[in-house]
Structure 1
Amino acid sequence: MARKTAKHPPNALPSCRHCGATIAAQGLKPHERFCKSNIERQKSRARSRQTRRSLNSLDGDVVPMDVEATSLPTFDSDLGGIPSAATNSESESDETGEIGPALPNVYLLSVPHPKNRKLLFSEIISLSHPKEASDIAEVEARRLENTLDAGRPWAPWNSLADFGYTESAVKGVLSKDIIDMQLKGLSGPWSNPGGSRITMKDYRDYKLYLAKARTLGVKFLNATVEADLWGEPKKYTFYYRDPWEWILSLVTDPGLARVSQWQSRRLYYCENGEMERYFHEPFTADRWHEVDSELPAANPLMHCWLPLHIWLDKSLVTSHVKMFPIVLRALWLPSEIRNASGNGGGVIIGFMIMVEDPGHSKNRTERQNYEFNQLKREIYQQVMEKLFETIWKKSWFGEPVRCGDDVVRNLYPGFLIESLNFEEAWSFTCCRANRAKHPCPRCLVSHEMLDCLHQFFPLRSSAAMRNVVERARCAPTAAQRDKLLMDHGLHDVPHFMWNIRFSDPYLSFIYDLLHFLEAGKWGHHLWLLTLDLLEKLGLLAEVTKRMAKFSRWRNLKHINDLATKDFTDGQTHLDILKCIVYILCEILPPKSTLIPCIRALLKCRMLLGLRVMTTSRQLVVQQCIEDYEKWCKRVSEDYDKNFKFPKQHYLIHALDDVRLKGVLRNGTTRTGEGIHQEVKQHYGQTNKRNTEAQNKQISIRDEDQEVVARTRLLIDDFFRRASQTAELSDASSDTDATNQEADVAQFKQGSARRVPKSRIPPANGENQWIFGSPLQYGDSRSYEDLHGGNNPIYRALDPRLREFLHSQFPDEYLTYEDTIMIEIFQCVYIAYQSKDDWTNAEDILRCNSNWYNSGPRYDCVLFNSDQPGVACARLRSLVRCQLPSGRVVDLAVVQNMKPNKWRPKTSWDGCVVFEEEVDLTFLLMDFVIRGALLAHAQGPSNSRRNFHYLVDVVDGDMFLRVLNAIGHVCN
């Protein structure tokens, strides 16, 4: 409502009808126009703030961009996609002036790329209030809605039973004789007449159906490359799949199209009005955003980049035979799909040629060795060029494709991530190896500066390295050519990726936590240094003994033979790294520089291994890298350790990789290690005679696995939809009707875990915990009489329990005569929201006097407390009480952990010590947050008290909780 004009005495200056200010007559109208627009602007900003608060009513649902402007803030392109203070909303509440309730205190905001906002949607996900069950069901129903053919998803097999047997035979890698014997038995004497639904009669039928099914997938092809070595032509044949045909099979798949990410987005963590950007999948990172900015806007086709992840590594399938698989993954698919082995997962796209050495390197001259190495790199690049021949033109001009969601898009394939160990990276990028003047495949760092982690060096690029090779080939002399190449750490070989748009072989090489940190800096350097030091001090046996007694934890390997076994896998090295600090701190001499150095490396590993990386977390990582460099210099001085090696240096590129490609788990080589096992299984079914025949037979078996995985996905998808609609196909004459009914029942939606049976049912099904492994049932007084004398946990249980329940629930009015029924449990499943990626996580905790005949196990928990810092307690028993009123209460009998200021000989940043109290107390399960791992500490000399270290590195969630409890440093 406009402000009324203020009354003023005669001969006074007129006043503005908007703000009431007195203005000269000649300037009144311009002032009123400005004042009106200014007031409207302020109102608009106020409405914008209230509109953003009203988004809470959406409660985490997806918000389309074409909804009414009253439910969305606008976006300012100059702010990089952050909501601006302007909106077209005009609605206000007549009574309160409020548009709606406030935004959640904590929520996630997803902002599309500016070029695609009209075609995409913005999304707000609340982290403060969980969604209602009906909302989740509705979203799931929309996600699964599709028009998938419900006739015969198992085609070309005659029946579902035929496919089921084929799937088990392929996965079990059964031999020809076993398959033939089983099928003849199932169709003959093993079954009653007409009793088996399997229509295949023998191995011949089995192979016939697989051959038909392989025509539906991407088949292997063969090609030949050649090069000259010392005047003699060399020809090599290799097997590969057409990558573009494989890409088409993914983008045209209706099931995969529902979960594909076609454009980049920027994500923000919002808390109390402040926004912080975060990264996880590749589409959230800067490199994809840069490519989208370079691609044309929709005209009307949407232009989409299809980033690829390439992995390759030699595998030793036997003690004498090596194979060299090349694996591709589709980065526009979610990590849960692309890193799995089913439809949409990583695929063996080909096999690299293993060039055999014609002799021994010692019998050749230096020049001959160089020429032989040059041949291997030329063959390497020729194979890659032939393999990706079908995509390089499409990377520049795109290819219109009708995708599985019936939308036509112009698709541009390219490479974003290369997962390689350093040995393979030097071959892949055509760079010189470890002893070169510039050994890094990413930048031009000199060999003398490999241990410098605070200085950045000129980066390699496709254009710059191509220019170097061209200049070297034009050099007047061989010496000048070699010098120019050596000064840039290159070989005289053009790279196949130079011709592929949006693909840089040097920038795509990602930091690998497995090879560079776990099995690299730790496994091959600091761990070996630690072992040598322990052996010199005669402490190796003591460390092995303490490691064997280390507290158990789910997903943490319990190592009993630390000193007697040579560990080669990265996961074991990581488990040792997580535990070793808590053992060495009391054994090594005081103020040892090795312990804080290991701790700094471990902090880098925990932060770089997070599933989500925020801006504040990146700042903490940078500080940890600086601390690690500082302690490495101290270790180098104290123990004469040389840290000038490429894996040490590459740590400076880790944060850039996160910013450009998403979190590092997107490119870890750990996801490709399973390929080696598959190749070994395939090789076991070949004739083992020659490489070319082996590759062909392995290719066929890999095609079998791919087509079985694809068919299984179609079948599962069909039955999942059938279970939701609760109806079957009208084809009642189908011989598989009964099979369909059984599978529909199998796929009905239900709880992820069946709640264990108990004599006292839980209060409700919405608790974050589930009790398991029931032990005893009875009333509190009889249980005390039976077990109180044998177990101090239950001594005087009844009066203590009544006192606790009266203090917590005074409205129950418990008397001594009232009967309290109790049930004792030995296991609890605790669900919680992870601080790592804000998704649901779970701990399984035990309180058992003899866990699997290996002695007592009493795990610990974190719980909410009014005291600052972290509050821990040890579970001694789990009790469910049923009060006379019918109320059911779940509680734990615990021993509290009291923080203690004592520290070991050598402390470290973030060291937390607890003293275990003797007295037992009760703790409501409502206050329990999650499980915790405590490692036993020797404590002060001549002390009988029980001391423990809090192990904050069991996972990313625990690390962040402890880090922020000590002092809030990152979201």
Structure 2
Amino acid sequence: MDLEATALPTFQLDSDGIPPPSEQEETGEVGPMLPAVYLLSVPHPKDRKHTFSEVISLSHPKPPSDIADLEARHLENMLDAARPWAPWESLADFGYTETAVKGVLSKEIIDMQLKGFSGPWSNEGGSKITLRDYKDYKFYLEKARVVGVQFLNANVEAELWGEPKKYTFYYRDPWEWILSLVTDPGLARVSQWQSRRLYYCENGQMERYVHEPFSADCWNDVDSELPPANPFMHCWLPLHIWLDKGLVTSHVKMFPIVLRALWLPSEIRNASGNGGGVIIGFMVMVDDPGHPKDRTERQNYAFAQFKREIYQQSWFGEPVRCGDEVVRNLYPGFLIESLDFEEAWNFTCCRAGRAKHPCARCLVSQEMLDCLGQAFPSRSSKAMKKVVEKARSAPTAAQREKLLMDHGLHDVPHFMWNIRFSDPYLAFIYDLLHFLESGKWGHHLWSLTLDILEKLGLLREATVRMAKFSRWRDLKHINDLATKDFTDGQTHLDILKCIVYILCEILPPKSTLIPCIRALLKCRMLLGLRVMTTSRQTVAQQYIEEYEQWCKRVSENYGKNFKFPKQHFLVHALDDVRMKGVLRNGTTRTGEGTHQEISVRDEDQEVVARTRLLIDDFFKQASRTGEQSDATGDSENSKKAVDAAQFKQGSARRIPKSRISPAKGENQWIFGSPLQHGDSRSYEDLHGGDDPVYRSLDSRLRDFLHSQYPDEYLGYEDTIMIEVFRCVYLEYQSKDDWTTAEDILRCHTNWYNSGPRYDCVLFNSDQPSIACARLRSLIRCELPSSRVVDLAVVQNMKHSKWRPKTSWDGCVVLEEEGNLTFLLMDYVIRGALLTPAEGPPNSRNRFHYLVDAVDGDMFLRVLNATGHVCN
């Protein structure tokens, strides 16, 4: 969710761009105008359209109805603007077409049905389907085959060893694509035209934070440099460019170049459909005419420079009336480049990994690649352009070559040097997927870990322990660690989140490998947050320095060499956050739906399949958790009647109607999967003999309810009706980005025929440390007074002083208590993942580790509970 969309009060800016405090605030009391905890959004001084600061309240566990209404309208605007079902007029039209194509319906049947929908079958036009007949049906299918800006082609030429080479380059005109976005009325409503400064405010303290690119420094600096309105506003249009060599196939000898519009919300630009990432061209694959070993070093250098010349030849503010009818002077430029290192070296015309200065961002030397606490001279368009010009004017070839080598450059002018507000070196962003998950971890530390486990004969034991790791909805369950050929970064990340809990009990005591992996995981968790405050950046810098120190220890103990470019690039990660917003803005993980454009065939089945991918991809990106939304359009067939809930995971879930209606009011939980209904005594008689959860249920329940509700008189003869459930959907306010998130928790005796599953929860208690309990049952009670109470039967967890062979910063060990107690659902905060620990001798499987890396919210909760301060 875009936080800017839910702003309520507005304030006239003072000289610093901050709203004045109320009189009560000056006396230490919170006045009615400003909440106790809030977010502050301050527009850029040159923003003529927004001259007020905006405040978003965070003081309520659930947002007031007016905020919820604003959020709903915002998300409706998102879907209306994205229109992933285009060119169909509505989601209902596409839904019918998809059904008809998959069902291979005849022309006669389709014509009959559509005429019925638009006529007598729907109260003479009451259907949400706007298709009228078979002619309309075929019209939109044909139209869907030709969507968006069309491809052009051009030839690029260069000479290699005296022989001319020619390549054909396929591309779309980027400016034509940009114009199609800025002139779209739907997209104009959700576009961010100028930068803002954002602050987290609590207890009179303000802390800046960044998330989207408009909140970071680079956009702010460009806005400050642009001239004031004269009479039209001057607006920067930052772009995200992504080159993905991984999409090359035996049929496609070029790899796609994807552009995204960073002035659009991430829900739109990272998905598919209108405003989403678009393949702007296909970069030529330059085949090697021989083998590098058969050439001299000079010949290899000539071939590398030849490839970069082909790259550079493949590329190509004016006032525009935008979709909101406002005329703006637009300045497109490149803010983010998402590239792997090989692509980055080609793209920036830098020399490769064995060069004297192998980084595309700075002039770090080979021998300093493992130094993460030191800054190095930055590359810039101005500086690198001077180097190339000076090299070309050198009196001898040797002097020219030395100058280029000293700066790690090829003699190729970069096309971005002449594009204002675009720097090819600064735009190269730290990619968590390639550089950390698949890079430092997947290709280096994980490979080292497997080698160590094999040498010690511990790989089988580690595999068995990993297979027993507790399940979690957003965590892949790994059954076979011995499989070395994990190719996707998500699997590498899931192993990274779990492996410390496996290694800590089987590796020799005080192993340096465990704290090194843990330090890398802590870096990944903070750098992967959706919002980055100043205090989070401070802690992240400490983690990077800690990781560097443990890498040195691992090098000493295991001989691992950390002098490689992806290790070094961690130096630039926090600079990227400050300049461009959080790192997820430049990840190569998003926008997979755009890939389908490569293989679309001119057939009805392919058209509907592609459109379905676009729709699903949009809902996936719009979902808070990043998972696929359950909303498929079956019940929401009009883009003008969209409920905000469909953007959240589980929103379209079909929850069976319970026998006891839930209490009225805004609860943060919903019970699902009802089991049985009856009175408490009968339930105890039926199940108390077999299940300790229900032994003496009636008396224990009456005592608990009386302690919680003294005004309720519960006589022995009074009947308490109960209904037992096996699932709860639990909403909470995420500490990561302060928006609403959701857990789905189970308490089941035989979950999917794989044995019992009893998930755990965090709950509010009087203790300063984290309070955790295991769900054993979910019960809804209806009292004689008609009061309805939702509660859980839980086994509490107490903090243990026991530690594994090798502990780590943030290690939380919990011991499961034997007694069962009741817990009101009002006290439950969110779900928690606990995984078994071996514990001390004869511990009988009662010890567990609290896994803090399941998501950013849990990581921050545990981090702050263990003595850190990180807002």
Q: Taking structure 1 as the reference length, what is the TM-score of the superposition?
A: 0.80
CA contact (8 A) 1:116 1:298 kept: no
Matched residue, 1:717: none
Measured in 1, the distance between the counterparts of 2:778 and 2:788 equals 13
Matched residue, 2:169: 238
Which amino acid is 1:575 matched to? D
Matched residue, 2:13: 74
Measured in 2, the distance between the counterparts of 1:934 and 1:139 equals 34
Identity of aligned residues (%): 76
Measured in 1, the distance between the counterparts of 2:779 and 2:91 equals 47
RCO higher in structure (CA 8 A, sep ≥6): 2
CA contact (8 A) 2:240 2:335 kept: yes
Query: Closer, same or farther in 2 for the Cα pair 1:456/1:133, shift >3 Å?
Result: same
Classify the secondary structure of the residue corresponding to 1:903: coil
Residues 800-827 of structure 1: CA deviation (Å, up to 9, x unaligned): 1111011111100111111000000000
Classify the secondary structure of the residue corresponding to 1:425: helix
Q: Does 1:444 align with 2:363?
A: yes
Q: Does 1:374 align with 2:305?
A: yes
Measured in 1, the distance between the counterparts of 2:613 and 2:507 equals 55
Measured in 1, the distance between the counterparts of 2:812 and 2:85 equals 57
Classify the secondary structure of the residue corresponding to 1:917: strand
Measured in 2, the distance between the counterparts of 1:162 and 1:59 equals 29
Query: Closer, same or farther in 2 for the Cα pair 1:450/1:960, shift >3 Å?
Result: same
Q: Does 1:453 align with 2:341?
A: no
Query: Closer, same or farther in 2 for the Cα pair 1:153/1:857, shift >3 Å?
Result: closer
CA contact (8 A) 1:214 1:707 kept: no
Measured in 2, the distance between the counterparts of 1:98 and 1:934 equals 41
Measured in 1, the distance between the counterparts of 2:28 and 2:494 equals 58
Query: Closer, same or farther in 2 for the Cα pair 1:809/1:188, shift >3 Å?
Result: closer
Matched residue, 1:137: 69
Matched residue, 2:630: none
Classify the secondary structure of the residue corresponding to 2:818: coil
CA contact (8 A) 1:109 1:270 kept: yes
Measured in 2, the distance between the counterparts of 1:469 and 1:207 equals 56
Residues 117-162 of structure 1: CA deviation (Å, up to 9, x unaligned): 564432100000354325543675599699x99xx99998899987
Larger radius of gyration: 1
Matched residue, 1:925: 825
Measured in 2, the distance between the counterparts of 1:562 and 1:154 equals 41
Which amino acid is 2:59 matched to? S
Matched residue, 2:427: 508
Query: Closer, same or farther in 2 for the Cα pair 1:871/1:492, shift >3 Å?
Result: same
User: Alignment partner for residue 281 of structure 2, among 350, 369, 375?
Assistant: 350
Residues 469-503 of structure 1: CA deviation (Å, up to 9, x unaligned): 11111111111111110100001111010010000
Q: Which moved more, 1:321-330 or 1:454-463?
A: 321-330
CA contact (8 A) 2:391 2:400 kept: yes
Give the superposition deviation at 1:865.
0.5
Measured in 1, the distance between the counterparts of 2:84 and 2:528 equals 39
Give the superposition deviation at 1:371.
2.4
Matched residue, 2:625: none
Matched residue, 2:726: 826
Give the superposition deviation at 1:212.
5.2
Measured in 2, the distance between the counterparts of 1:370 and 1:342 equals 42
Give the superposition deviation at 1:642.
0.5
Matched residue, 1:187: 108
Residues 920-953 of structure 1: CA deviation (Å, up to 9, x unaligned): 0000000000000011111112334611111011
Residues 409-457 of structure 1: CA deviation (Å, up to 9, x unaligned): 1111000000011111111111111101100100000000000011100
Q: Which moved more, 1:294-303 or 1:320-329?
A: 320-329
Query: Closer, same or farther in 2 for the Cα pair 1:159/1:513, shift >3 Å?
Result: closer
User: Alignment partner for residue 553 of structure 2, among 608, 627, 634?
Assistant: 634
User: Alignment partner for residue 778 of structure 1, among 678, 687, 700?
Assistant: 678
Matches within 5 A, 1:896-915: 896-915=796-815
Measured in 2, the distance between the counterparts of 1:97 and 1:346 equals 48
| Number of aligned residue pairs | 829
Matched residue, 2:258: 327
User: Alignment partner for residue 768 of structure 2, among 850, 857, 868?
Assistant: 868
Measured in 1, the distance between the counterparts of 2:864 and 2:114 equals 69
Measured in 2, the distance between the counterparts of 1:99 and 1:796 equals 48
Matches within 5 A, 1:947-958: 947-958=847-858
User: Alignment partner for residue 573 of structure 2, among 634, 645, 654?
Assistant: 654
Matched residue, 1:727: none
Measured in 2, the distance between the counterparts of 1:563 and 1:551 equals 19
Matched residue, 1:53: none
Matched residue, 1:805: 705
CA contact (8 A) 1:186 1:196 kept: no
Query: Closer, same or farther in 2 for the Cα pair 1:99/1:336, shift >3 Å?
Result: closer
Give the superposition deviation at 1:368.
3.1
Measured in 2, the distance between the counterparts of 1:741 and 1:595 equals 49
User: Alignment partner for residue 505 of structure 2, among 582, 586, 597?
Assistant: 586
Give the superposition deviation at 1:595.
0.4
Measured in 2, the distance between the counterparts of 1:905 and 1:215 equals 62
Give the superposition deviation at 1:334.
0.6
Instruction: List alignment gaps of at least 5 residues for structure 2.
Output: 119-130, 619-632, 646-650
Give the superposition deviation at 1:317.
5.1
Which amino acid is 1:133 matched to? S
Query: Closer, same or farther in 2 for the Cα pair 1:505/1:99, shift >3 Å?
Result: closer
User: Alignment partner for residue 890 of structure 1, among 790, 796, 805?
Assistant: 790
Matched residue, 1:462: 381
Measured in 2, the distance between the counterparts of 1:951 and 1:239 equals 48
Classify the secondary structure of the residue corresponding to 1:349: strand
Measured in 2, the distance between the counterparts of 1:97 and 1:315 equals 58
Matched residue, 2:127: none
Which amino acid is 1:657 matched to? D
CA contact (8 A) 1:63 1:121 kept: no
Which amino acid is 2:263 matched to? W
Measured in 2, the distance between the counterparts of 1:286 and 1:845 equals 40
Query: Closer, same or farther in 2 for the Cα pair 1:872/1:422, shift >3 Å?
Result: same
Matched residue, 1:21: none
Matched residue, 2:456: 537
Query: Closer, same or farther in 2 for the Cα pair 1:309/1:851, shift >3 Å?
Result: same
Which amino acid is 1:783 matched to? Y
Which amino acid is 1:444 matched to? L
Matched residue, 1:280: 211
Classify the secondary structure of the residue corresponding to 1:305: strand
Measured in 1, the distance between the counterparts of 2:174 and 2:5 equals 41
Matched residue, 1:112: 43
Matches within 5 A, 1:314-713: 314-316=245-247, 318=249, 321-384=252-315, 386=316, 398-676=317-595, 678-679=597-598, 681-682=599-600, 685=601
